[in-house]
C-alpha cells in the first residue's frame, strides 16, 4: 500500500464551517454551527440522539444544503456544490446506513467505488487493511455480518484515497471485539495521516480515537475542546452526553 505519511509541518485547515443553519423543510435543525477540522486530525462530534450530529455530517458532505452559512474544503467553497462534486474534491461520507450493494460481492462493491476515483488504491491494499474482507471477497453484501458490512463501507471510502472521511455511527450495534478491531484500523490510518470526523454514541470509543471534540445539543455547539478537556468536564459529560 502506498503510505499516507503525515509530513512534519503545521496542520492546515482542511474544512471550515461558519455559522451553518440547516433545515428539514420548515424545521430548523442546525443553528449557527461553526467548526474547523485540520489536516491529519481526528475530531469527534458528540451529543445525544437528535442533537444534530448526523445532520452536520450530511451538510458538510452536501447531502443537505445549508440555508445560510459557508463551508470551505481546503479553501474551496463547497456549500453550494452537489454531494458528488464534494466527493470528487476528496471528502467521503460513510453513512450510518452503510449503503453497500447487497446484490454485489465485496470485490464488486470495491471495484464500483474505485471506478470514479482518479487514483484508487489497489484491492490488495484494502485487503491488507481489512483481512476479513479478503476472506469474504466473493460473498454478496447482503450475506455479510454487521461488522463486515461496516468494514466494507469504510473500505469503499478509503479506496478513493479521500482527504477527509466522515464516519457516521461506525460502531453502532457491533460486538465489542469488532468495535476494537475497527478502532485499531482507524488509529492506524490516523497515524498515517488520514483525517476523520466521527459521530458516535459510544463516547468512550470516540474519545479514544479523537484528539478534539465538538458537542452538539439541539442543533447548537455547546462545547469545543480537546478530548482531555471533555473528560475533565463531568458537568458537560453528564448534561449533554449522559455519561
Identify the DSSP state of 141: G
Claim: this prediction has a pTM higher than 0.95? no
Give the model's pLDDT for residue 2. 39
User: Look-up: residue for cell 474544503?
Assistant: 73
Model pLDDT for residues 29-77, shown as the tens digit of each residue: 999 999 999 999 999 999 999 999 999 999 999 999 999 999 999 999 9
Q: Is the pLDDT of residue 20 over 50?
A: yes
d(CA 72, CA 75): 5
d(CA 197, CA 60): 10
Choose one of 136, 162, 188: the last residue of a domain.
Answer: 162
191 assigned to some structural domain: no
Give the domain range for residue 152. Answer: 98-162
157 assigned to some structural domain: yes
Model confidence band, residue 94 (pLDDT cutoffs 50, 70, 90) = very high
Identify the DSSP state of 37: E
Pairing of strands 27-38, 13-24: antiparallel
d(CA 178, CA 185): 11
CA end-to-end span of the chain, whole Å? Answer: 39
Same domain, residue pair 57 and 152: no
d(CA 229, CA 150): 30
Give the Cβ contact number of residue 169 at 10 Å: 21
Same domain, residue pair 134 and 236: no
Same domain, residue pair 137 and 172: no
Give the model's pLDDT for residue 8. 42
Model pLDDT for residues 145-176, shown as the tens digit of each residue: 999 999 999 999 999 999 999 999 999 888 99
d(CA 110, CA 156): 5
Same domain, residue pair 48 and 141: no
* Count of the separate structural domains present in the chain: 2
Give the model's pLDDT for residue 3. 40
Same domain, residue pair 170 and 219: yes
145 assigned to some structural domain: yes
Give the model's pLDDT for residue 243. 63
Same domain, residue pair 85 and 168: yes
Contact predicate 113/153, CB 8 Å: no
d(CA 127, CA 236): 40
Same domain, residue pair 157 and 102: yes
217 assigned to some structural domain: yes
The chain-wide mean pLDDT, for the chain, equals 92
Amino acid at each position: 500500500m502506498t503510505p499516507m505519511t503525515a509530513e512534519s509541518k503545521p496542520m492546515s485547515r482542511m474544512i471550515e464551517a461558519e455559522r451553518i443553519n440547516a433545515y428539514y423543510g420548515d424545521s430548523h435543525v442546525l443553528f449557527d454551527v461553526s467548526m474547523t477540522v485540520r489536516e491529519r486530525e481526528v475530531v469527534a462530534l458528540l451529543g445525544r440522539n437528535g442533537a444534530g450530529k448526523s445532520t452536520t455530517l450530511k451538510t458538510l458532505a452536501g447531502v443537505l444544503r445549508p440555508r445560510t452559512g459557508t463551508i470551505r474544503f481546503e479553501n474551496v467553497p463547497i456549500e453550494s456544490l452537489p454531494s458528488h462534486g464534494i466527493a470528487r474534491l476528496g471528502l467521503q461520507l460513510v453513512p450510518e446506513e452503510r449503503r453497500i450493494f447487497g446484490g454485489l460481492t465485496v470485490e464488486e462493491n470495491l471495484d464500483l467505488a474505485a471506478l470514479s476515483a482518479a487514483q484508487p488504491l489497489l484491492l490488495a491494499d484494502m485487503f491488507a487493511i481489512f483481512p476479513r474482507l479478503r476472506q469474504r471477497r466473493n460473498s454478496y453484501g447482503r450475506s455479510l455480518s454487521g461488522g463486515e458490512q461496516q468494514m466494507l463501507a469504510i473500505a469503499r471510502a478509503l479506496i478513493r484515497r479521500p482527504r477527509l472521511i466522515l464516519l457516521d455511527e461506525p460502531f453502532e450495534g457491533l460486538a465489542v471485539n469488532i468495535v476494537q478491531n475497527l478502532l485499531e484500523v482507524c488509529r492506524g490510518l490516523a497515524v498515517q495521516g488520514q483525517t476523520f470526523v466521527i459521530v458516535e454514541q459510544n463516547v468512550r470509543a470516540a474519545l479514544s480515537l479523537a484528539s478534539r471534540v465538538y458537542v452538539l445539543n439541539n442543533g447548537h455547539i455547546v462545547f469545543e475542546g480537546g478530548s482531555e478537556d471533555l473528560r475533565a468536564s463531568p458537568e458537560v459529560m453528564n448534561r449533554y452526553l449522559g455519561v
